[in-house]
Amino acid sequence: MITLSESAAQHVSNFLAKRGKGIGVRLGVKTSGCSGMAYKLEFADSTEGDDIVFDSHGLKVLVDPKSLPYLDGTELDYTKEGLNEGFKFNNPNVKDECGCGESFQV
Amino acid sequence: MALLQIAEPGQSAAPHEHRLAVGIDLGTTNSLVATVRSGMAVVLNDDQGHALLPSVVRYEADGRVVVGYDAQARQAKDPKNTIVSVKRFMGRGRKDIAHIESMPYDFLDGEGMVRLRTSQGIKSPVEISADILRTLRLRAEAALGGELTGAVITVPAYFDDAQRQATKDAAKLAGLNVLRLLNEPTAAAIAYGLDNGSEGIYAVYDLGGGTFDISILRLSKGVFEVLSTGGDSALGGDDFDQRVFCWIIEQAKLAPLSHQDARLLLTKAREAKETLTNRAEAPITVKLGSSEYVDLVLTTEIFAEITRTLVQKTLAPVKKALRDAGLGVDDVKGVVMVGGSTRMPQIQHAVAEFFGQDPLNNLDPDKVVALGAATQANLLAGNRAAGDDWLLLDVIPLSLGLETMGGLVEKIIPRNATIPVARAQDFTTYKDGQTALAVHVVQGERELVSDCRSLARFELRGMPAMVAGAARIRVTFQVDADGLLSVSAREQTMGVEARVEVKPSYGLSDDEIAAMLKDGMSHAADDAFRRALREAQVEAQRLIEATQSALKEDAHLLSDAERRTVDAAIIGLQAVLIGDDRRTVDEAMAILSKATEEFAARRMNQGVQRALAGKKIEELNG
């Protein structure tokens, strides 16, 4: 199960509207970075193969089956930190992450 | 933890490899920085929530550099060390700057770009602009959480090479990697074109703090093409403030003002102008340092009246830009308003009346340029989606060419050519045995060099000596994506080459830039006449020289009577050469040609005989 916070959902739907196309947002992980794994956050234009699709606040959240074990239970949030703002993965599977939080280990 | 943005499918960056790019609108009055977040262009605010950064730099005696609102707040107190509208000084010499005598700065004497004496030493406009850019860079890095990959910085379409180079230098000094300089109206079109997806012909009417630009653009299938540009690099909201300022002095019958009072009044003038954007009248009350008291009310009507000529001044370049694009008012599908000064109701009305339609202003006119620049920066930094390969065409604002014999201009790259562009043309020598060629690069629309702007001079030396007209020299003009010019000349047989990166002379006043385009049109007929005359004069001079050199060699082929006829014809031609009647020059040339016909035939025969006698052909060319 992967969910969007209300703030994240609002921003995703704004961005999708602005972009003019797309069915939802795709979350995933890939191997790389200083701590093993890195998040993927992309617009989704279509579902692919065996994508698992969650519905959150009326938006489609797509995850490929290989990524799901590392992300299950994640809530995608949108926050501001000082002048910076953006999306944040609240991922219960993470045991350790690199200083900047861009990559992580499970 | 790091905050993420949504990427285009397949475009997720690896950790620590986000390509953070920003667009910067380095304005005369205000500057902004914007970026693209999750596919959406947004302006980055400072920690107080301000989007605009006033382009004001203050040099404190204790070594601090204050930029923005804090500097602006102090400008009346210490005008000498508080620099406003520095953009007007970029790439400009003392004599190019309007109202320089009424400015509170301590300008240094000397040639080249102006320099100012401040409490922190001597500062150039490049350094002062760099302080503004540095502030924006730090704001962006705080907002994006990392170092910037690069920036797109906008400049008025009218900026010449000197001003563009100065802007690039300032960016470098501020620690920014310049991905590209972009014309402001083009940036606005990007913001509108991509955001709204509307196609067709658009006029971008950009009245900023210090510059006015008009661009005629074609938007189709995501491709932007600038059809023509025009404007006035010395016209903007500041001039409207100046008019109100003068009106206050006149109405209140004020004595000559101190710098502090002048600055204070100018601030009041600007506030009154801004008030009139959505009110019918603006009170102006101020107590001056001279203890004089001002209590006036500026109404919309008075404001419109005292600024009528300024508003009209913007419409002349609009008409010309339309003519250049070969379009009429009816072809324009929409008019995009850019620049805070377009909020003035009289501007909205004048533009609506001229184009017969209400202008588009659904994006914030202060932000639209920065938003477009951010979009461009995002693409140039490599953050583009698959299939998102639109092209951006930009044009050069003034024709580029070189001087030919007789002070005529040979245009190599016509104005409104899309850049980047490279054009080559072959030239030849004018005199026998000529081994050097002076290349004089000029910019402008007129036919005569004296009416155009001199950009650079260089010499091609070491060419093989040949008869006049035999050498082939290829001159190549190249304008890069930033609108900067390099010129090279190459002699084709020996391969001797010389080149110049245009190190522009700061010799052109703002008024001249605007006047040059206007001149080109209004003097077209006059120029054509003068060109024909000058061409006839050059041809006549060549004929005289050729005859004289033939006479020196082969005078023995002529009888005394024949020689007298030829001499008389030469003198006759020389006499009319300096006049301005092309017909008499042509007639005198015909007389000389006729007088030397027989002579030429005899020389030819003699040459043939010599050749038959086994002489070398080179000797015949003398």
- The answer to whether B159 and B233 are in contact (CB under 8 A) is yes
Position B613 pLDDT exceeds 70: no
How many CB atoms within 10 Å of residue B94? 17
Of the listed ranges A5-19, B152-166, B184-198, the least confidently predicted one is B184-198
pLDDT tens digits, one per residue of B212-249: 889 898 876 555 677 888 888 778 898 999 999 999 99
pLDDT of residue A11: 92
> Under an 8 A CB cutoff, do B10 and A33 touch?
no
**Chain-chain contact of A12 with B6 (C-beta, under 8 angstroms):** yes
Q: How many CB pairs under 8 A join A and B?
A: 98
Average pLDDT of chain B is 83
- Find the DSSP H helices in B145-160: none
Half-sphere exposure of B140 (CA within 13 A, CB side): 33
Distance from CA of B379 to the nearest CA of A (A): 15
Is it the case that residue B423 has pLDDT exceeding 50?
yes
Per DSSP, B406 falls in state: T
pLDDT at B616: 53
pLDDT value of residue B366: 92
Task: Determine whether B206 is an active site residue.
Answer: yes
pLDDT given for residue B506 in this prediction = 39
3-state secondary structure of B539: helix
Residues constituting chain A: 106
Task: Please indicate, yes or no, whether the overall pTM of this predicted structure exceeds 0.95.
Answer: no
What are the pLDDT digits (tens) for B400-415? 898 888 788 888 888 7
Name the residue of chain B whose CA is nearest to A101's CA.
B1
Does B25 participate in catalysis according to the annotation? Answer: yes
Residue at token pair 């043939």: B608
B459 is annotated as an active-site residue: no
Closest Cα of chain B to A2: distance in Å?
16
Residue B486 confidence (pLDDT) above 90: no
| Pairwise CB contact (< 8 Å): A86 & B10 | no
In this predicted structure, the answer to whether residue B374 has a pLDDT above a threshold of 90 is: yes
Cα–Cα distances in angstroms (integers) from residue B456 to residues B112, B162, B453, B474, B507, in the given order: 14, 12, 9, 17, 11
Nearest to B143 among A20, A26, A84 (CB): A84
Distance in Å, alpha carbon of B41 to nearest chain A alpha carbon: 10
Q: Which of residues 58-117 of B touch A (CB under 8 A)?
A: none
Interface of B with A in 141-170 (CB under 8 A): 142-145
Contact A100 B39 (CB under 8 A): no
The pLDDT-based confidence of B148 (bands split at 50, 70, 90) is very high
Residue pLDDT, tens place only, B271-299: 999 999 989 999 999 988 888 889 999 99
B78 given a catalytic annotation: no
How far is Cα B57 from Cα B55, in angstroms, rounded to an integer?
Answer: 7
Q: Report CA-CA distances (Å) from B193 to B214, B335, B369, B475, B570.
A: 17, 12, 12, 38, 65
Res. B17 pLDDT band, cuts 50 70 90? low
What percent of chain B shows pLDDT beyond 70?
87
Candidates A26, A31, A76, A102, partner chain B, best to mutate (most B CBs within 10 A): A102
- Asked if pLDDT for residue B512 goes beyond 60, the answer is no
pLDDT mean across residues, chain A: 84
- Tell me what ipTM this predicted complex has: 0.80
Q: Average pLDDT in the B25-33 region?
A: 93
- Interface check for B12 against chain A (CB to CB < 8 A): the answer is yes
Closest CA to B360 of B119, B543, B128, B189: B189
Q: Does A5 lie at the interface with B, CB-CB under 8 angstroms?
A: no
Q: Which range is least confidently modeled, A72-86, B461-475, B496-510?
A: B496-510
Contact A47, A53 (CB under 8 A): yes
Give every CB contact of residue B550 below 8 A, 6+ residues apart in sequence: B596, B599, B600, B603
Q: Among A96-100, B61-65, B214-218, B249-253, which is the least confidently predicted range?
A: A96-100
Record: contact A83-B12, CB cut-off 8 A: no
Amino acid letter, residue B585: V
